[in-house]
């Protein structure tokens, strides 16, 4: 059974990023359809997969991480305009039966991602 999961790690503080709001979109051409919303828990993960089973379909997706809200809340960034605010990660799901894990590693001035397990 396929599923999509994520987690967020705060590399500047060396711990999971709790309380990060995440929106998930299905992308088709210029159309973005929001299909899920979640917030990371104390372990920096969502309480359940973002999608699983028949809800995960082959195609293009985009996760938007509201990193700026998190960075402000933890005192790592201030002001109206931040270097990193909303971080979009667009990715493809070629096999709806597989597990796709898309982690985000953040700090106030950098981020990275990869396909996790």
Distance (Å, whole) CA 76 – CA 101: 26
pLDDT-derived band at 65, boundaries 50, 70, 90 = very high
How many independent structural domains does the chain possess?
A: 1
Distances from the Cα of 6 to the Cα of 30, 73, 82, angstroms: 24, 21, 23
Does residue 103 lie in a domain region?
A: yes
Where residue 84 sits, what CATH number does that domain have? 2.60.40.180
Mean pLDDT, the chain, whole residue set? 96
Q: Which residue do the tokens 């990371």 mark?
A: 40
Contacts of 27 (CB under 8 A, 6+ apart): 33, 59, 60, 61, 62, 90
Does residue 66 lie in a domain region?
A: yes
pTM: predicted TM-score of the whole model, two decimal places:
0.95
pLDDT of residue 103 exceeding 90, the answer is: yes
Overall average pLDDT of the 47-70 stretch = 97
Does residue 114 lie in a domain region?
A: no
Range of the domain at 16: 3-108
pLDDT computed for residue 1 by the predictor: 86
């Amino acid at each position: 059974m396929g599923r999509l999961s994520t987690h967020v790690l705060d590399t500047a503080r060396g711990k999971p990023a709790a309380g990060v709001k995440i929106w998930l979109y299905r992308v088709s051409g210029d159309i973005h359809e929001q299909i899920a919303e979640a917030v990371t828990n104390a372990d920096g993960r969502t309480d359940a997969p973002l999608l699983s089973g028949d809800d995960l379909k082959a195609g293009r997706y985009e996760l938007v991480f509201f990193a700026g809200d998190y960075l402000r809340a933890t005192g790592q960034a201030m002001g109206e305009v931040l270097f990193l605010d909303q971080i979009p990660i667009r990715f493809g799901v070629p096999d709806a039966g597989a597990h796709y894990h898309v982690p985000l590693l953040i700090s106030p001035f950098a981020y990275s991602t990869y396909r996790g397990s």
